[in-house]
Amino acid sequence: MEPTVNQYIPSDYLPILIQFAAALGFVIFALTLTHLLGPKRESEVKGAAWESGIESVGDARTPISYKYFMTAILFVLFDVEIIFMYPWAVNFKTFGLEGFLQMLVFISLLMAGFFYVIKKGILDWE
C-alpha cells in the first residue's frame, strides 16, 4: 500500500527519534562523566545556602504585594507587543493599507488594556 500525501509512515519519524536518542545519550554521558571526574570534597561551608555572599535571615514565605506581579505581567505584555511591532515596522511597505489597519486594531486593543491598567491603579506605588 502506497502512502498518500497526508499519511505518515513510521519511518518518517526515525530522524526525530535518532536526534532525541542522541541528545538524551549526550546528557546522560555528560552527567555521568562530570560526576565521575569532578571533585568530591564535601564541607559544611560548601553545602550552606548562600545568596550574594550574605546569610539568609528570616522566613522566605513573607507576603509580597500583588502589584509586583502585576507589574511583571505588564512588562511581559508590552514586551510581546514590541516583538509583534518590530517585524511589522520592517515590512511596513509590503503589508500595505490592510497591514496598517490591522496594526491600528492591535494597538487600539493594547491601548485599551493600558488605559484599563492605569484606571485600576496597578502602576501606582504607595
Residue-wise pLDDT tens digits, 14-67: 889 999 999 999 999 999 999 999 888 888 777 776 666 666 677 777 787 777
pLDDT at 30: 97
pLDDT of residue 1 exceeding 60: no
pLDDT at 5: 66
**Rounded (to 5) percent helix, strand, coil in the chain:** 70, 0, 30
pLDDT at 87: 87
Per cent of the chain over pLDDT 70 is 87
pLDDT at 82: 84
pLDDT at 22: 97
**What is the torsion angle, in degrees rounded to the nearest 10, for the CA atoms of residue 84, residue 87, residue 90 and residue 91?**
-100
Q: Which three cell numbers stand for residue 35?
A: 560526576
Q: Which three cell numbers stand for residue 89?
A: 515596522
Averaged pLDDT for residues 115-120: 85
Residue pointed to by grid coordinates 552527567: 31
**CB–CB of 3/9 below 8 Å?**
yes
Rounded distance, CA 126 to CA 115, Å?
Answer: 19
